[in-house]
Structure 1
Amino acid sequence: MDPKCAVCEKTAYATERIMVNGKAYHKPCFRCLHCKSVLKPGNFTSNDGKVYCKTHYMQLFKVKGNYISGFAGETNVIGDSINNKTGAIDQQNIEAE
């Protein structure tokens, strides 16, 4: 049996769904909770099971004065990488998306 969409609760068939964190979404239902823009698997992040575009996630959940996008070891806003052991910033060559 096909799963229900986490937003509209209608059946999400394989050809029209996106699976994220174990939840099914119709492609048009997969939207930022804050601005309602349609999201794609590579341009979103989640907090407590709710999905946001990267822009609004950064605005809503950043730590004041010390913002790092994602978790330790991932890329921050300016494309640097945080060393998990030392906390030092390592410069990287990162292609623009």
Structure 2
Amino acid sequence: MANTCPGCHRKVYHNEEIVFHNEHWHRTCFKCTSCKARLRPGKFLEHQGQAYCEPCHNSLFGQKGYGKSFTPRSSTAVKPSHTCKACNKEITEKEIRVGTFYYHPECFVCKSCGEQLPKNNYITSGSDNYCTRCAPLESLSIDPKIIRSLPQCSKCGESIDEEVLLFVNYKYYHSSCFTCEKCSKELYSVDFTLKGGKFYCANCI
């Protein structure tokens, strides 16, 4: 016999439930009491019979382990779940963030050739991601929200306000700033090598 979820008052079945204090919740209904972020089983903190994400618990009741009401049964918290931009499914494990978008690692692929992208070496043009071989040369418009969420160019220090954004070795660059250390050739959309923390074109290795 199915139980009733206290969040939506609908039937909840075993393969979709989270049990908390003998109550059976849908996974999508089990949320932080304060901020309403979704919580995963065993990945939340408890205070007086209520479930919280770690940031809310720490803000309201103090750091984990110091509040009198902390119950050890609910250990480490987890970030609110996100939806993968590529497949529109929930991300429950590892994720890759690009600006305001999130991806499953296996869904983070080049828009052109379909090859999986390394998280520290790809090019974002518009809202699409490319490997360095397939990145388009034409200018594409980009959502201003993405630009505002990105750090400054790692080379010139200026904000990135152009169409093409490069993210290489965990740093962002203007396309014109991403150049060969030796000959100053622009490395956007060409083969390059990272050596000693510096980037070189194929001719200068």
Classify the TM-score, shorter chain: 0.5 to 0.7
| Structure 1: runs of 5+ lacking an equivalent | 76-97
Structure with the bigger RCO (C-alpha within 8 Å, sep 6+) is 1
Q: TM-score, structure 1 length as denominator?
A: 0.60
- The residue correspondences of 1:18-57 to structure 2 (distance < 5 A) are 18-57=18-57
Counterpart contact for 2:2–2:11, Cα < 8 Å = yes
- The residue correspondences of 1:43-82 to structure 2 (distance < 5 A) are 43-62=43-62, 68=66, 70=70
Identity of counterpart residues, as a percentage? 30
Greater C-alpha radius of gyration: 2
Work out the number of aligned pairs and report it.
70
Judged with a 3 Å threshold, the aligned counterparts in structure 2 of structure 1 residues 71 and 4 are, in CA distance, closer, same or farther, namely: closer
- Offset at 1:30? 0.7
Q: Secondary structure at the match of 1:18?
A: strand
Q: Tell me, in whole angstroms, the C-alpha distance in 2 between the residues paired with 1:41 and 1:6.
A: 16
Counterpart contact for 2:47–2:71, Cα < 8 Å = no
Counterpart contact for 2:34–2:52, Cα < 8 Å = yes
Q: Tell me, in whole angstroms, the C-alpha distance in 1 between the residues paired with 2:46 and 2:9.
A: 19
Instruction: Calculate the aligned-residue CA RMSD, in Å.
Output: 2.4
Q: Tell me, in whole angstroms, the C-alpha distance in 2 between the residues paired with 1:71 and 1:37.
A: 20
- Offset at 1:71? 5.6
Q: Tell me, in whole angstroms, the C-alpha distance in 1 between the residues paired with 2:11 and 2:53.
A: 24
After superposing on structure 2, the runs of 4+ consecutive aligned residues of structure 1 that deviate more than 3 Å are 69-72
Judged with a 3 Å threshold, the aligned counterparts in structure 2 of structure 1 residues 14 and 57 are, in CA distance, closer, same or farther, namely: same
Judged with a 3 Å threshold, the aligned counterparts in structure 2 of structure 1 residues 55 and 22 are, in CA distance, closer, same or farther, namely: same
Q: Secondary structure at the match of 2:45?
A: strand
Q: Tell me, in whole angstroms, the C-alpha distance in 1 between the residues paired with 2:71 and 2:31.
A: 22
Q: Secondary structure at the match of 1:28?
A: coil
Letter aligned with residue 29 of structure 2: C
Q: Tell me, in whole angstroms, the C-alpha distance in 2 between the residues paired with 1:17 and 1:71.
A: 21
Q: TM-score, structure 2 length as denominator?
A: 0.31
Write the deviation string for residues 9-47 of structure 1: whole angstroms up to 9, x where unpaired. Answer: 111111111111211110000111111111011221222
Letter aligned with residue 68 of structure 1: Y
Letter aligned with residue 66 of structure 2: I
